[in-house]
Amino acid sequence: MTETYGASPGEEIVVLRWRYVARSVPAARRELRRTLERWGWDAVADVAALLLSELLTNAVRHARVPGREIETRFSRVGRVLRIEVHDASETRPLMGLPEEGAEGGWGLPLVDSLAAGWGIGDRRGPGKVVWAEVAAAGGPAGEGRSGEFFGRGATPGGAGRLVG
């Protein structure tokens, strides 16, 4: 079951839960694309799917906590899409440029270059939320922010759906 709710007028949030397995990433991308199609936001689907892939892959690879799942939230407020990945690990990702020719380490620099804004925040309970925002076609361009933004963290969650 996908949990969808509106936290305030003009806002809709889709909450899903995932296991710490690689196959969760393409499944989450499919769910995001379905959500964006339903909202009529197909124009940002490719960028949004890439951002989700990077954030969720980081959680799957580096934030595993036994007995816990990863939670994704897709929300829209006005003309801004927010993608959140919640995990129970207290370890915060660090952004740096990898060595030339490195196969890994490019995720957060890619997120920084594509997102209108992104950050890392606290969440209820253990762990963190890593988020990225994309302006819908015709929406505000964003400020190109990066880094750790606290106080813009998680919205109330629910049961969601365990996938994978």
164 pLDDT tier (thresholds 50, 70, 90):
very low
CA 29 to chain centre: 10
Q: Which amino acid is at 126?
A: P
The 8-class DSSP code of residue 116 comes to S
What pLDDT, on a 0 to 100 scale, did the predictor assign at position 158?
A: 32
Tokens of 141: 């361009």
pLDDT above 90: residue 47: yes
162 pLDDT tier (thresholds 50, 70, 90):
very low
What pLDDT, on a 0 to 100 scale, did the predictor assign at position 161?
A: 35
Burial class for 161, CB neighbours closer than 10 Å (0-12, 13-18, 19+): middle
Tokens of 20: 């710490």
Total residue count of the chain as it appears in this document:
164
Question: Which pTM was predicted?
Answer: 0.76
pLDDT above 80: residue 100: no
Rounded CA separation 150/43 (Å): 29
149 pLDDT tier (thresholds 50, 70, 90):
very low
The 8-class DSSP code of residue 51 comes to H
- Whether 17 and 84 have beta carbons less than 8 Å apart is answered as no
Return the SS3 of 42: helix
pLDDT: which is higher, 9 or 157:
9
Tell me the domains of the chain and their CATH numbers.
3-163 (3.30.565.10)
109-113 mean pLDDT: 84
Span 50-91, pLDDT tens digits: 999 999 998 888 777 777 899 999 999 888 999 999 998 887
State phi, psi for 30 to the nearest 5 degrees.
-60, -45
- Whether 34 and 46 have beta carbons less than 8 Å apart is answered as no
Span 3-42, pLDDT tens digits: 555 556 567 899 999 988 899 999 999 999 999 999 999 9
Question: In 23-118, which residue ranges form alpha helices assigned H by DSSP?
Answer: 24-39, 45-62, 107-114
For tokens 């892959």, name the residue: 57
